[in-house]
Chains A and B, each alone.
Chain A
Amino acid sequence: MSMKKLVTEVTWCKGCGICAAFCPRHVLEIVNDKVVIKDEVSCIKCGQCELRCPDYAIWLQEVDHE
């Protein structure tokens, strides 16, 4: 079964805070100018962060689960 997982590339994050501000479930936080996934279990995989991140530093990735 394929599932989606929230993934970040912090070296690309410029800390603008758009992902955290527009996340409907407040899953994300900016710490020292970098995105941090602080509450992964609340993530509803809506993909708003991926759509809005200007720096492609956060996205939903397909992961295979048995």
Chain B
Amino acid sequence: MPSELVKREMRTENLPHIWCPGCSHGSVMRALCQAIENVGLERKNTVIVSGIGCSSRAVGYLNFDTIHTTHGRALAFATGIKLANPDLHVIVLTGDGDISAIGGNHLIHACRRNIGITCIVMNNTIYGMTGGQYSPTTPTGDFGTTAPYGNIDKDFDIPLLAASAGATFAARTTAYGIAQTITVMEKALKHKGFSVIDVASICPSYYGRRNKKGDAVKMLQWQKENSVPVKMAQNMTAEELKGMIVTGIFKDVEEPEYTEEYQKIIEKAGGKR
């Protein structure tokens, strides 16, 4: 018998989950459940959408109205759901590959529209489900099955990408800083407009092993020792920030939300919702 929180928010008949030992997707999923309860979202008004990948398996375990969609398209489905019923709280759970490679275009346009969706990226910097190919967030020089001599691509900084594309809330937390992850998730869930949280997750099985990062405990300890709050990072040089994880809220502003603007168009055209 699991904890009361897990019993309330998850489909316990599907547990234990499929994720590898030490994978932080499980603790991030629990953090989301905790944040949903702390904010007081109602089950009947909450929809959780995912794409494809390890992270996206989460919707099979969450006891909400959930939809497991096609690769990279979670935000497109979520946009449709939100436009059909703007009163719903729509949450997207996705991974780094799903959101920044296959779904990169959907990400920038959801940001640009500032549609009221909360997008949580479980960013483990690798394609875990398919065996460890490098993703757009794999740090330069790191190894993947498709980068046996090291990755020569530059990695995306998802919160900065989202903020510059127009998202009105952009943040990064870590799996080590799971308490901060919960509080930032609460803020994102309450935010009106498009919010993105990049949660630095760990993949001991593929990223960790291939890059000799040690086991799950060592990877979390590394996060602890190499995280810098965003305020402190502002006074650090690019050289000092190399290889560090900058955490905290990068952007939190109010701007017109897409479904509200769309409602005005409906009214202008003489229609009713």
Contacts and interface: CB of A to CB of B under 8 A. Distances in A.
Interface of A: 7, 9, 11-12, 14-18, 21-22, 50-57, 59-62
Interface string B14-28: 011101111111110
Chain B: interface size category: 20 to 34
B216 A51 contact: no
B22 A53 contact: no
A4 to B, nearest CB: 11
A11 B16 contact: yes
Nearest to B28: A54
A54 B6 contact: no
Contact of A55 (B1, B26, B179): B26
A54 B25 contact: yes
Contacts of A7: 3
Contact of B27 (A17, A21, A53, A61): A53
Given A51-B178, A53-B26, A54-B22, A17 B3 contact: no
Contact of B21 (A14, A52, A56): A14
Contact of B215 (A17, A54, A57): A17
11 contacts: A11-B16, A16-B215, A16-B216, A18-B217, A51-B178, A53-B26, A54-B23, A54-B25, A54-B26, A60-B3, A61-B4
A18 B22 contact: yes
A59 B3 contact: yes
A55 B217 CA distance: 14
A56 B15 contact: yes
Nearest to A50: B3
Contacts, number: 71
A54 B204 CA distance: 13
B27 A51 contact: yes
Given A51-B179, A55-B16, A56-B15, A12 B2 contact: yes
Given A17-B217, A21-B217, A54-B27, A61 B3 contact: yes
Nearest to A19: B217
A52 B201 CA distance: 12
Contacts of B24: 54
B22 to A, nearest CB: 4
A18 B179 contact: no
Given A17-B22, A17-B217, 14 more contacts: A9-B1, A11-B16, A12-B16, A16-B21, A16-B216, A18-B216, A21-B217, A51-B27, A54-B19, A56-B2, A56-B3, A56-B16, A56-B26, A59-B3
Q: Which of A12, A18, A51 is packed against the most chain B CB atoms within 10 Å?
A: A18
B82 interface: no
